[in-house]
Amino acid sequence: MFERDARYLRALALIAVLAGGLGGCADGSPDDAADARARAIVSRMSLEQKIAQTHGSAPPEDFRIVHGIPELGIPALTVTNGPAGVGPGPQVFGNVPASALPSPLLLAATWDPAMATRYGDVQGAEMRAIGRNLIEAPDVDLARVPINGRTFEAYGEDPFLISRVAVANIRAIQAHGVLAMVKHYIANNQEEQRMSVDVRASERTLRELYLPPFEAAVREADVASVMCSYNSVGGAFACENRWLLTDVLKGEWGFRGFVQSDFFAAKSTVASANAGMDLEMPTPRFFGDALRAAIDSGEVSAERLDDMLRRRYREMIRFGLFDREFGTSPIPAEEHAAIAHEIAVAGTVLLLNRDEILPLDESRLERLAVLGPWAGRAAIGGGGSSMVNPIRSSTPLEGIAARLAGSGIEIASDSSGDVDAAVRLAAEADVAVVVVGNFEAEGHDRETLALPDGQDQLVAAVAAANPRTVVVVHAGSPVLMPWLDGVAAVVEGWYPGGEDGAVTAAVLFGDANPSGKLPITFPATDGQGPAAGRAERYPGVDGSVFYDEGLAVGYRWYDATGEVPLFPFGHGLSYTSFQLGRAKVSPRRLRPGESLEVEVKVTNTGRRAGAEVVQVYVAYPPTLGEPPKQLRGFAKVALAPNESRRVHISLDERALAIWHEERRAWSVEPGDYTLLIGRSSAETPDQVTVTVE
């Protein structure tokens, strides 16, 4: 990847070893060479220089920077937000325009690590183009409560799906010589009281649901940095929680990178430093003069201070930051727009399609009504630090108008939200397309999953006037649909980013076949879900929030309670049809350390090319106290009409493991395990039992 840098680092490692070792190891690997070089740099620094490198500088023109030390060859660490594209936020270095990518939740809806790789490619390339070197992405916080205001920034409710998307995304970002930062570590699952709330959860709950995506980021993707969150866990703030930062992250998982605080998340000097936080952002409230005093008094050791810097420099060296000139270059806007368009289509979920009204048939259209407040608004993304200043954007109305230009089809539009005007136009049209949505944002949660501003009444009125009503939803997370029985089709478009208009038109008219699957369950009412109506579970009582639902989160809760959601996890239709053959599973009797191999034949039985996702869930022996079933494997396959392909899915030993609280270790217990194979959490007709000996 960085061949020149790798040769240089190997040479440094050899020199270090021959010279008596600056921490380099005899195998001369690039990682060891980076460590040796980092140790050498730190050994030449004064105490004042070291302290200045433990915190952000935050000058007025740049809120996200740690200044370098040119005389020591240390470059600046230049940070930007990035879960939804290179989005530094409006207060930072002139709000540089970048490609507004589809929301991360839409990316998760692709159920396709290859799309996560393409997403990360754009992020990494644009970071290099704007001259920055650390991107605060991805966000892998699990969607415990769908009303969380930042649900759109992460990958949904299942830790296995989140992990597969995150690993591919991180690897792609870092392939560009850019540091990725996985966040927010950990249990940052609500915006309400996020700065102070204390999460009370069992270790088994943390180990099986909330920690796995971070573990995968470290162990599989070798992520460069981790952001510790605002909230506390078990009575200790995340940025001063030694069990989380040192025992688990750096000790058990072997994380060699550095831990950065969320902005203003640091709460202390000595406790944070000794727990394992390495960098305070954005200003030196605790790691400036206060850290110097703690070093002088011996409350924080000089070795711990050196470790803070070595960790960061090692990663910066590993990715070439010490050895390249930083500059800017034009962003290839058209190329990246095409990638964003492809991702957005792949993550668009066709929720309902009565009588196959979609895709719309131009030959049977004379007049199309395009209605709703989001018809004239580009759903670029949610609010907060993830906002991107888009290089370009288009609205659904603009996209549809461009798609139908020259067709002779009349477009009647109204995006005012006025019900009477919309009803009049709908009644005169062959088909009515209503585009609805919401604007979700960091800093606050939603009070309800209902659409705001009377949009439910608008949809119901339009559907009553024209039964051929298609609803396109542009929302950051699940919404209620009290009008569902009265409409012909529903398309979940999430926040498609800058290519909103073109993507919406392509899906509606069948230029592309949506192939998304829900990465999060859609509740039927606000009263559904493990935390609904339970103040101690959300938003918390007396400063604490109790995760005493345990593992029953998302589809696990619906399975355990028998409640029926509006749409289940994993659901998504297509403009074609698929047939799944009987699964072949081997071995049927499993010995310790063995993996399971699942093979399923998938056939496209329709008339269009499309993609299907084979989903594999595991039901554990009832005595183990696990949810009824849990996602443990999936594969997406694209097929031409009448084409068949055999899909292979491997389940490693961890797929059958539980966190054994008494042993405080992962354990695969003997017994019968049932593999449930299908196309959603609610549709798993094929079941195969395997026995663990």
Q: How many other CB atoms are found less than 10 A from the CB of residue 274?
A: 18
Mean pLDDT of 470-491: 98
Do the Cβ atoms of 587 and 651 come closer than 8 Å?
Answer: no
Q: Could you read off the pLDDT of 495-551 as tens digits, one per residue?
A: 999 999 999 999 999 999 999 999 999 999 999 999 999 999 999 999 999 999 999
**Considering only CA atoms, which of 47, 51, 48, 45 is closest in space to residue 74?**
45
Q: Could you read off the pLDDT of 306-353 as tens digits, one per residue?
A: 999 999 999 999 999 999 998 999 999 999 999 999 999 999 999 999
For the chain, what percent of residues have pLDDT higher than 70?
A: 95
At 30 the pLDDT is 72
Query: Catalytic residues, which ones?
Result: 262
Long-range contacts of 422-428, Cβ-Cβ distance < 8 Å, separation of 24 or more: 422/369, 422/371, 422/372, 422/458, 422/461, 422/462, 423/461, 423/462, 423/464, 423/465, 425/369, 425/371, 426/369, 426/371, 426/462, 426/465, 426/466, 426/469, 427/465, 427/466, 428/367, 428/369
Ordered by where they begin, the domains of the chain are 1-44 (no CATH), 576-692 (2.60.40.10)
Q: Could you read off the pLDDT of 217-248 as tens digits, one per residue?
A: 999 999 999 999 999 999 999 999 999 999 99
For the chain, what percent of residues have pLDDT higher than 90?
A: 91
Q: Which element (helix H / strand E) includes 437?
A: strand 431-437
**pLDDT class of 13 with cuts at 50, 70, 90:** very low
Q: Could you read off the pLDDT of 548-607 as tens digits, one per residue?
A: 999 999 999 999 999 999 999 999 999 999 999 999 999 999 998 899 999 999 999 999
Q: Which residues pair with 199 in a beta bridge?
A: 233, 545
At 20 the pLDDT is 30
Stated pTM of the model: 0.94
Separation of alpha carbons 157 and 195, rounded Å: 22
Mean pLDDT of 198-223: 98
Q: Could you read off the pLDDT of 42-66 as tens digits, one per residue?
A: 999 999 999 999 999 877 778 789 9
At 237 the pLDDT is 98
Is residue 184 over pLDDT 70?
yes
At 23 the pLDDT is 32
At 579 the pLDDT is 98
Mean pLDDT of 425-454: 97
At 493 the pLDDT is 98
Is residue 198 over pLDDT 60?
yes
Q: Could you read off the pLDDT of 604-635 as tens digits, one per residue?
A: 999 999 999 999 999 999 999 999 999 999 99
Share in percent of the chain as helix, strand, coil (round to 5):
35, 20, 45
Is residue 4 over pLDDT 70?
no
At 21 the pLDDT is 31
Q: What strand order describes the sheet that includes 349-353? A: 349-353, 489-492, 469-474, 431-437, 367-371, 410-414
Tokens describing residue 657: 């493991």
